[in-house]
Structure 1
Amino acid sequence: MIRFDRADANMPKYCNGILPRVVDDAQWETAAHKLWEPDPTIPNSRLLHTRLPVQRPDAGTEIPKDIAGRLLMVFQNAGGRTNVWKQLPQKGKTSLIHQAARIRASLFDFNAPAEFFSEWFLPRTFTFMPESLSFPVEPTREFWTNVFRVKIEATIRQEGNMIGWESDNHTVGPQALKAKEALLEFIPHILPEDKGKQSEWMWRPVLEHGDYGIHNMSITVDEATGEPSITSIFDMDRGCIVRALLVDPEFAVSGCDFNADENGGGTFSRLEDDDPEFKERNMVYAKQYLEAIYEHAPNFKRAIIAGKDARYLWFALRGWRGDDPEQFFGGLGKWAASRVAEIGVASGHDLGSAKSQENNKEIKAINGEETQLAGCQDTKALNEQEVQEAR
């Protein structure tokens, strides 16, 4: 099975800004495949060969006569096809959900080597981050606290500096600057307390697929019984490394995405149909999916609950696309300030109160929509349309 990028680095009008991302994504995917291939609980097509795109000195002057400018990846064909959801009977859909949940639990439990974590953490973390880290990459509370700190400092610099992407032409204003202060004050308290051996699992690095769904799975279906079988997961080029507390359970099927709410319960988004029966049916599927994950990886649910505030801030930053930074960060600043006030009168780190849930609803209302949790890598920095065309 051969996969080509549609975009050719030697074509006229090729966006050169895309090429470094294409190369980085391919190198990451190649490295991740080498890690996952030996694990029988994570079905994936064996990666046989990767050839990175080569841009010639005269690129763009004429239509190329070869495919040297295209990324090429060769996989062993595991059999099956994608997007079989709609053809499956209800029993088949339930079976597929349980298989996907089992694989998702295996991804969560997979232990990446320390060298892999150190090499890939920063390159795969979404914009904005410093070019290098002044502290060691390690699975500790201190490391992840520092990650939040440098991300805020890299995102909101000094008043008058550019904020977001150059094409948006925004600068840091007083509301964003005030939010920076509130967020930096809250960050030392945003993670659960370190309780030694009992909490080691919280800081463990987890490899995220980044676009987990049936569109990135090969699935066979038994013609006689309608029973599906997932033979491989693929297209991990949007993947990243996060700590266990920031795992993203999202699973995309035809017409709907299954996810978890802040308490670990099943929920959904991206509905293609507002029909009440369709909603009810997908809520059942979402609950089945989450419950099956927790059955195979109990710490998955503990991570979602223990990391409420950290998850909220992380996913909010990841979902921002440059719109009105004063309003967006102003809202986040109010949320952080209210959490600091709560912690000041509470004993310990009471990060899961009803007041916090109300604050989360308020910030979502300010931003106009709930933060979507799909994908690790943002694409705005390269121009979303150009990246999609390059794929």
Structure 2
Amino acid sequence: MNLHEYQAKELLKKYNVPVQEGFACSTVHEAEEAYRQIKNQSGSSFAVVKAQIHAGGRGKGTVKETGINGVKVAKNIDQITEFAKGILGGTLVTIQTGPAGKVVNKILVAQDMYYDGPSERKEFYLSILLDRTKKQNVIMYSTEGGMNIEDVAHDTPEKIFKEWVHPGGPLQGFQARKIAFNLGLSGEAFKNCVKFVTNLYNAYVGLDCGMLEINPLFKAADDKVIAVDCKMNIDDNALMRHADVAAMRDTTEEDPTEVEAGNHNLNFIKLDGNVGCMVNGAGLAMATMDMIQLSGGQPANFLDVGGTANAQTVEAGFKIILKDPNVKAILINIFGGIVRCDRVAAGVIEAYKTIGDIPVPIIVRLQGTNAEEAKKLIDESGLKVQSAIQLSEAADLVKQAVA
């Protein structure tokens, strides 16, 4: 589950990680009030306005309707009003959103961190995630933080440092000191960085993060080390341990069909192809997608109905797949292990009758327990459903459907 920047920062504060303070705002009036509070607290007339969407590259992205960047520095309340009006409710297009962009429902009005001369401040990059090849958590960091970190990783990979941490234990003191040293810090800034990295790693583990990225990690002129921006992803499988975090889920940032699928306990990911897939089991689903590709089609989705598929789950899967106008055919590929194939076939027939006329060819491949009986049920149903037992048969039918 992805979190907005303002949500992630609130969680980090619970782990004593210093963050750029700010207020999440849904209206122009709230943004103006937030600015007044920040000005009173900091004594500075500068504040930052940041669009809150689940995508990176906001600083370089622009709002379609107004041409305003997703991150702006305001010098006075008039500019706060101007930027809030220009961003809220608009569609922000960044390198990560694609041309469709994302609608901005909230902005973060935050304190200006760049309150001293540029010679005194520094921007770093730091992230924590799982390195699956080493089966350890890895802290990646660089002296070259900021909006062009992707270019740094591509053009000068030697500037990206890595520190691995065994998931069964904490970040060791010498490792935190090594990170601060490699970032070129000394004195009070060095000590603050060691505390920052240690607390950040504790937050990563304690919150069951899949990824935690701070960019920029900021060293101010007074040697404070602060998270100016934060991207946080929580492992969905661990949300049962974090009811407070689960409550932060913003479904408006997610694909509506994926949200609907989740409500039916279906594992669904939307893709850009023309053949809808309905499969039981993640491994079989991946193999089915490969088969569609080899047959000349493109998978329109990943849909795993699980090992207990029935009429209700099949019907829900049908409806979700058919919401995609690009789908030219639907392939149902079920292995009857836990569930009998004839029961799945009966579910397909029942779902077909409930939904009504389905405008695209449906190919059903059932293999395993009672596969022959299932094929007979479908062949004798009188419905426009094509059945197959072998994977090669299903592949030929898919090829014909998308030709």
**TM-score (ref. length: structure 1):** 0.22
More helix per residue: 1 or 2?
1
Name the structure, 1 or 2, with higher relative contact order (CA <8 Å, separation 6+): 1
